Structure 1
Amino acid sequence: MIGIYVRVSTQEQAISGYSLDAQLDACIEKAGTQEVMKYVDDGYSGEFLERPDLERMRKDVREGLIDKIICYDPDRLARKLMNQLIIDEEFRRKGVEVVFVNGEYAASPEGRLFFSLRGAISEFEKAKIKERTMSGRKGKAKKGKVVKNDHVYGYDFDSDKSEMIINEKEAEVVRFIFDAFTDPISKFRGMNGIAKHLTETGVPTKKGGAVWHRQVVRQILMNETYTGFKIQNRYNTEGMLANKYNRSKEDKIKMTERPREEWLYSPVPVIIEKEQFDHAQELLKQSRRRFTKKSTNQYLLSGLLRCETCGNTLTGVNRNNWGTFVLHYTDVKNTAGAKHKGCGIYIKCEELDKHVWDQIQTLLNNPEQINAFQEVAATSESFEEKELKRLTEEIERTKKGRKRLITLITLSDEDLDLNEIKDQIRTLQTKEKNLQEQYTNLQAQLEAEKKKETNLEILKQAMDLYFVYKEKEMPFEIKQRIIATIVKEIRVHDKETVEIITF
């Protein structure tokens, strides 16, 4: 029986015109009969041998069902020369004749040499196609274009313009997710609560699914694209195509992150402001501790306490004290896998809760301090922005001066004091380095001031909630929510000394 093998990948079909029908017609014509067994791999790369119908054909050859194979071209069997030779040798050992439509390869030294040359050329062509494709994508990305549709929730992809455009219905959901997660008076408890609400209200996922999972909400909260730019060329995925053929975990190739200087940034429409995104990232770091499952006993500072000495978190325990059970916070860990058993700190919940709440109330009851802080922050930011602009101009002047001196050395025919010019160049280099350091330091200060403004908004949100309940008996959940909004971490140095770290 004659076997006909045809293969095409989507990329090759578009570039080279290797359609399956055209290959089949040519192979059947070469066979001179319609009584053939067809083996078709549609959409599979020729880089790997693990292809469904190729494996089926090799099995049929081993079982003696095939005595002749017709293929359009050697690169349909495999793109790599080594793989071509492996398959050809395997078939010939079984006495199976391999015939190609696009060229005759005699079973002679000359024929084998020509076969090898064709294989080497095919492998070279594959590498060049890959290189051109990657180069083209990088070129588009450097021009600010989005080269790939990652199906980011909240956006649609315009393939003609290589741009991302806002999907208003999805963007509203994205805004809701960020608002629900960062709002101190939100009724949703973390990512699980948000996912449950979206599922119950029938909001479809990006793929049209009916169920939202916690991890999907987390991915949206962590996606910096919503702040106005998409990072491209961030990950190196070379060789990962083979993972679907590799059967063992050891053989699978892992995706790696490229150096940050190789990342490319493309502008996209803004859905979430940078300040809110940054605040969400801070809350994400604490979410596992903040939104833990409710216990029988209530602990006001749950998820916020950490021992400064050993690094253990402090958890609540109901401790038996001479027949009376009293709630305590402790850093003692009794689990087998604990890295540190703890320093043995035990603090009564009532005492520590009161100490922290008194300090929070002192902060919230002094709004004039907040207004003064806002005015200072605004003035400081304005000064730093002006100073950054001045430093940028000064650095550019220094660079131009150094370039002029270098040009003077290389192009001038006059007798010059080269040592003096080189000294001037070194002086300008030192000046540029100092200016660059000043610029970096000021930029860091500016970011810190912006962070202060973000913190100010968080404080105001907590204050609004506080004054709603100030004259009433404040529910435990509201008090806990106010503390969790303002406090990032409470570091316990010993029983008497605690440090409250705010956002």
Structure 2
Amino acid sequence: MADINNTEKHWLIAFYGRVSTSLQEEQKTIETQLMAMNDFADKKFGKGNYTVVKEYLDEGWSGDNIVRPSLDQLRVDAKKKIWDAVIIYDPDRLARRYSLQELVMDEIKDVGIEVIFVTVSTPKNIEDKILYGVRGLFAEYERAKISERFRLGKLLKVRNGNILTTEALYGYDYIRNDKINKKPGYYVINEEEARVVRMIFAWVGEEGLTLRQVVRRLQEMEIKPRKSKRGVWNTSTLSTLLRHKAYIGMAHWGSSYAVVPKNPTNKEKYRQVKKSSRKIKPETEWIASNIPVPPIIGEELFMKVREQLKTNFALCQRNTKNEYLLGGKIFCSCGTKRCGEGPQHGKHLYYRCSNRIYNFPLSPTCNEKGINARIADKLVWQKIKEFMTSPKLLSRQINRRKDIRKNKTLPLIENIGIAEKELAKLKAQEDRYIKAYGNGALTIEQLKEQVTSIKSHMATFESQIRKVNQEKSRIDTAPTPTEKEIKIFTDEAAKTINDLNFETKRTIIRNTVGRIIGTQRQLQVSGEIPLTLNYVTYKTNYRYSWPA
């Protein structure tokens, strides 16, 4: 690891900063961190003795979430060694929890990069590390204590009749608290929105409309929700509205809690808030408050709506349990997942494009028709059976895979050659600058400027060569099953594959099929068959797998 006390060396450094809230972003705390890190670097290395190669800034990211775009990039760049040290204002900017701090610090230090903090000394020996750990644990404890105080404070406020909200329920306006006269905030009825609320309750309670029918009617009447990117109502929003007791004057608090979504609509890798979904608690756990809320509807209509929602749910076709072998694996040609749908007016089950569900109540943008689920299930399962029981078919796929592997290796070898030539050019260029400095043609500052840029480019090419060599090695050393192993697998599969129940078949589908692109004319199936006997018999397991 580099010696941070070496003031003669010209240091290549990086800065890492993080703020967790939009308020902190507005208050420029990220700029404050950068200013402090610059001042610290001046004192630590001396002005002119270092170059800031890159600043890694995560704005609006919680310290409890270690998956952050800039932190991930910092960890990748640390392995490339494009800088000698990273400066961070405080350990809690790296992560809130001590264990996560240690994980990232050890990862960076293991590749020979220094981690330096502005507010605390970096641990140099075992005693320092123990003290640093104790400090981190106390900081965690203090944060937990503050969090609990906030929770108890909120609870006390609610029980004393205060409203804890940033935005009023639909149908109400929120009049903020008067701090001078010490009057709590309160709700007043928004007559325009209240008229819509009364209509929605009447449609469900009196007319027996389903939530989707309510959405369609609101769309036809051009009544938009208060907040919506698409400008249309959502069935989940209506479900929450129709169950909220505030509309009959019974306010409550703590009816739900934040959870990590099981099937998030946003599949992006980086999520600023992990627990972006909410789960309803049992009503017995709700905290009834003394908050005076003017009722918009009567209790009788509210209870009618509750019963109608239960009836609608019981009659909903989606709640009929049907078996879909390809569920979760089949997609439409437009890229949207297809979902199983029970019989409407006929007797068949279908895999239909979910585009119409996502776009509702707007018109769908995909016109692909449904696929008969039983026919699709049978075709795919039959093909998998053929592969799993035929040594000839499996051997053919393995040989095809070998050819693909050889073809992949050729461009990798070419890439290594190109990168090595560029690396040699940069090395020769570096040598020329050093000779020029030795002959007095360049000053030390000019040399540092040129060499820093060259070394950065060299590090990039070295990283490319390393990655290509690793990929080439992985391809070259991939195991190949023998004919005997293939024969054992197919024989055992043939004995049991016709006696499998639906759940076992679906498990095999999930482990072999990667993705199915389906239309009414064709099914394109991609995946791999692991040569293991887990689902056909309990005997020897093989570690090989090949794309089907």
- Tell me the TM-score normalized by structure 2: 0.46
Counterpart AA for 1:272 = I
Determine the structure 1 residue equivalent to 2:14.
Answer: 3
**8 A contact 2:258–2:275 mirrored in 1:** no
Determine the structure 2 residue equivalent to 1:120.
Answer: 137
Deviation track 1:450-482 (CA, whole Å, cap 9, x = no partner) reads xxxxxxxxxxxxxxxxxxxxxxxxxxxxxxxxx
Q: Which moved more, 1:98-107 or 1:254-263?
A: 254-263
Q: Structure 2 residue aligned with 1:273, among 298, 303, 312?
A: 298
Partners of 1:316 and 1:106 lie apart in 2 by 71
Deviation at 1:117, TM superposition (A): 2.6
Q: Structure 1 residue aligned with 2:120, among 103, 106, 110?
A: 103
In structure 2, relative to structure 1, the CA distance for the partners of 1:125 and 1:215 (3 Å cut) is closer
* Residue 35 in structure 1 maps to residue 52 in structure 2: yes
Partners of 1:259 and 1:177 lie apart in 2 by 25
Counterpart AA for 2:218 = L
User: The residue matched to 1:123 in structure 2 has which SS?
Assistant: helix
**8 A contact 1:39–1:53 mirrored in 2:** yes
Deviation at 1:246, TM superposition (A): 11
Determine the structure 1 residue equivalent to 2:240.
Answer: 219
Deviation track 1:177-218 (CA, whole Å, cap 9, x = no partner) reads 12233335xxx9544343222212221212155323444434
Q: Structure 2 residue aligned with 1:181, among 194, 198, 204?
A: 204
Partners of 1:47 and 1:72 lie apart in 2 by 17
**8 A contact 2:14–2:86 mirrored in 1:** yes
Determine the structure 1 residue equivalent to 2:449.
Answer: none
Counterpart AA for 1:201 = M
Structure 1: gaps spanning 5 or more residues: 293-314, 318-335, 337-503
Q: Structure 1 residue aligned with 2:36, among 26, 37, 45?
A: 26
Q: Which moved more, 1:209-218 or 1:131-140?
A: 209-218
**8 A contact 2:255–2:281 mirrored in 1:** yes
Partners of 1:48 and 1:125 lie apart in 2 by 19
Determine the structure 2 residue equivalent to 1:207.
Answer: 227
In structure 2, relative to structure 1, the CA distance for the partners of 1:247 and 1:71 (3 Å cut) is closer
Deviation at 1:61, TM superposition (A): 0.5
Task: Give the RMSD, CA atoms, in angstroms.
Answer: 3.8
Deviation track 1:315-353 (CA, whole Å, cap 9, x = no partner) reads 999xxxxxxxxxxxxxxxxxx9xxxxxxxxxxxxxxxxx
Counterpart AA for 1:230 = A
**8 A contact 1:155–1:171 mirrored in 2:** yes
**8 A contact 2:259–2:275 mirrored in 1:** no
Partners of 1:119 and 1:18 lie apart in 2 by 26
Partners of 1:261 and 1:179 lie apart in 2 by 27
In structure 2, relative to structure 1, the CA distance for the partners of 1:63 and 1:36 (3 Å cut) is closer
Determine the structure 2 residue equivalent to 1:50.
Answer: 67
Partners of 2:147 and 2:87 lie apart in 1 by 28
**8 A contact 2:259–2:279 mirrored in 1:** no
Counterpart AA for 2:59 = D
Partners of 1:104 and 1:7 lie apart in 2 by 19
In structure 2, relative to structure 1, the CA distance for the partners of 1:108 and 1:164 (3 Å cut) is same
In structure 2, relative to structure 1, the CA distance for the partners of 1:97 and 1:159 (3 Å cut) is farther
Deviation at 1:100, TM superposition (A): 1.0
Partners of 1:245 and 1:213 lie apart in 2 by 20
Q: Structure 1 residue aligned with 2:96, among 69, 79, 88?
A: 79
Partners of 1:229 and 1:2 lie apart in 2 by 59
Structure 2: gaps spanning 5 or more residues: 1-11, 178-183, 318-343, 347-373, 375-548
Determine the structure 1 residue equivalent to 2:187.
Answer: 164
Determine the structure 2 residue equivalent to 1:399.
Answer: none
In structure 2, relative to structure 1, the CA distance for the partners of 1:245 and 1:20 (3 Å cut) is farther
**8 A contact 2:174–2:188 mirrored in 1:** yes
In structure 2, relative to structure 1, the CA distance for the partners of 1:229 and 1:71 (3 Å cut) is same
Deviation at 1:252, TM superposition (A): 8.2
* Residue 285 in structure 1 maps to residue 306 in structure 2: no
In structure 2, relative to structure 1, the CA distance for the partners of 1:81 and 1:214 (3 Å cut) is closer
Specify the structure having the higher radius of gyration (Cα). Answer: 1
Counterpart AA for 1:24 = L
**8 A contact 2:259–2:277 mirrored in 1:** no
Determine the structure 2 residue equivalent to 1:154.
Answer: 171
Q: Which moved more, 1:74-83 or 1:150-159?
A: 150-159
Q: Structure 2 residue aligned with 1:88, among 105, 109, 116?
A: 105
User: The residue matched to 2:162 in structure 1 has which SS?
Assistant: coil
In structure 2, relative to structure 1, the CA distance for the partners of 1:290 and 1:100 (3 Å cut) is closer
**8 A contact 2:88–2:118 mirrored in 1:** yes
Partners of 1:66 and 1:226 lie apart in 2 by 60
**8 A contact 1:202–1:210 mirrored in 2:** no
User: The residue matched to 1:229 in structure 2 has which SS?
Assistant: coil
Counterpart AA for 1:181 = V
Partners of 1:128 and 1:197 lie apart in 2 by 49
Q: Which moved more, 1:87-96 or 1:253-262?
A: 253-262
Counterpart AA for 1:23 = Q
Partners of 1:196 and 1:278 lie apart in 2 by 23
Deviation track 1:115-139 (CA, whole Å, cap 9, x = no partner) reads 2232122212221221122111111
Deviation at 1:245, TM superposition (A): 11
Q: When the two structures are aligned, how many residues end up with a matched partner?
A: 289
Percent identity at matched positions? 31
* Residue 237 in structure 1 maps to residue 254 in structure 2: no
